[in-house]
Structure formats: C-alpha cells, structure tokens
Structure 1
Amino acid sequence: MISLDLARRIVHDAGVLWQPAAGDRFVIDAELLTGQVFWVSDLTVEPQTFGEQTVLGFNGTTEWALDSVSLDKAVWLPREDQLRGLLGDRLESLMRTPEGWEVTYAGNAGSRHTVTDPDVECAYAKALLSL
C-alpha cells in the first residue's frame, strides 16, 4: 500500500484532486487515526455533497460511527490502478527486480526515467511525483 507520506505529496506537490468513489481507500489525517484505513463504500462511508463541499459520511454500521469528515481531513491512498491511470501514456513499463518494482516512464522532451521501490504503489507514486 502507498505510504501516507507519498499520498500526502500526491495532493500537495502534484496537485492531484480526489473525487471519492466506491472502493477508494483513505485515512483521516489525525494523529490517533492515521493507522486506520477506511474504504469508501455505499454501506459504510459515502461521499455526500452539501452545497459545494464534499464530505465523507460515516454510516452507523461502523464500529464507532462518525458523522462525517471533510475531504481536507482525509488523505486518499490511491490504488495501483489509479496511480497507473494518473501516469497515463507516460508509463512505459513495470518490471520486478531484486530491489523491488521498477517503473519506467517518459519524462519531458522524450527522456526516460526509472524509479524503484519494494512496494509497487510507492514506485508508481514516486514516478508520478517526479513528473
């Protein structure tokens, strides 16, 4: 799974905006809750819009029901397929190496770059951040 630090950087450094959808993972960015991963689901956590603000509404079926949390307090943990989608046509290859997962992607002016990480999602995130 992508690290919390890389997930934060995808939003702050790369400027990726999250539109919550069923199946998305996230953490609540509060010291006591960052170790708890939540999933957006039609049954337990649903995106709800009030005016122009989207919040994540927690239904009463969770162990301890929250009312809601605003998106600025949630950190999206993108999945492998979502990170591949964000890389788009720049993604050239993914290969398993003794050091981990190697992602090769096209940079500016046709240059090729490679990043490696033991976790495939972290490797994709590092590639995305380097663009």
Structure 2
Amino acid sequence: MISLDLARRLVHDAGVLWEPAAGDRFVIDAQLLTDEVFWISNLTVEPQHFADQTVLGFNGTTEWALDSVSLDQSLWLPREDQLRTLLGDRLEALRRTPEGWEVTYAASDGSRHTVTDPDVECAYATALLSL
C-alpha cells in the first residue's frame, strides 16, 4: 500500500485532487487515526455533497463516533490502478526486479526515467512526484 508520506506529497507537492468514489481507501489524517484505513462503499462510507463541500459520511458505523469527516481531514491512499491512470501515457513500463518494482516513464521533455521501490504503489507514486 502507498505510504502516508507519499500520499501526502501527492496532494501537497503534486496537487493531485481526489474525487471520492466507491472502492477508494483513505485515512483520517490525525495522529491517532492514521493506522485505520477506511474504504468508501455505498453502504458504510459514502461521499455526500453539501453546498460547495464534500464530506465522507459514516453510515451505520457502531464502532466509531463519527458522522462525517471533511476531505481536508482525509488522506486518499490511491490504488495501483488509480496511480497508473494518473501517470497516463507517460507510463512506459512496469517490471518486477530483485529490488522491487521498476517503473519507467517519460518526462515532459521526452527523456525516460526509472524508479524502483519494493511496493508497486510507492513506485508509481514516486514516478508521479518526479513529473
């Protein structure tokens, strides 16, 4: 799974925006809650739109005293497929190596670059941040 540090950097450094949808995972970015990963589904956590703000509504959760949490309190943990989509046509190759996952991508000037990480999602995220 993508690290919290890389997920934060995607938002703060790269300006990646999140449109919450079913199947997305996230954490509440507060010291005591970052170990709990939540998934958006149509049954328990769903995006709710009020005026100009989207909140994540917790429906029927008995173990949490939460009704909703705003997006700015949440940290999206993009999945492998979502990171590939964000890389788009710049993604050239993904290879498994003894060191981990190697992602080759094209920069805006056409040059090719490669990053490697033991976690495939972290490799994709590092490539995105390099762009």
Q: TM-score interval w.r.t. the shorter chain?
A: over 0.9
Instruction: Supply the distance in 2 between the matched residues of 1:75 and 1:49 (Cα, whole angstroms).
Output: 18
CA distance in 1 between counterparts of 2:91 and 2:62 reads: 38
Match for 1:17: what amino acid?
L
CA root-mean-square deviation: 0.8
CA contact (8 A) 1:10 1:129 kept: yes
- Residue 62 (structure 1) shift: 4.7
Equivalent position SS for 1:75: strand
| Corresponding position of 2:59 | 59
Residue 79 of structure 2 corresponds to 79
Distance 2:61 2:69 in 1: 16
Matched, 1:45 2:45: yes
Q: Distance in 2 between matches of 1:78 and 1:85?
A: 10
Distance 2:126 2:92 in 1: 15
Q: Which range moved further: 26-35 or 55-64?
A: 55-64
Which residue does 2:9 correspond to in 1? 9
Q: Is 1:44–1:62's contact at 8 Å kept on the other side of the alignment?
A: no
Instruction: Please show how residues 108-123 of structure 1 align to structure 2 within 5 Å.
Output: 108-123=108-123
How many Å apart are 1:28 and its aligned residue?
0.1
Question: Which runs of 5 or more residues in structure 1 are unaligned?
Answer: none
Cα distance in 2 for residues equivalent to 1:109 and 1:80: 25
Structure 1 runs (4+) deviating above 6 angstroms are none
Cα distance between partner residues in 2 of 1:57 and 1:110: 43
Question: Unpaired segments of 5 or more residues in structure 2?
Answer: none
Distance, in Å, in 2 between the alignment partners of 1:62 and 1:38 is 14
Q: TM-score, normalised by structure 1?
A: 0.98
1:59–1:67 CA contact under 8 A, matched in 2: yes
Percent of aligned pairs sharing the same letter: 85
> Which letter maps to 2:114?
T
- TM-score after normalising by structure 2: 0.98
Matched, 1:94 2:100: no
For 2:62 and 2:83, the matched residues in 1 are separated by 28
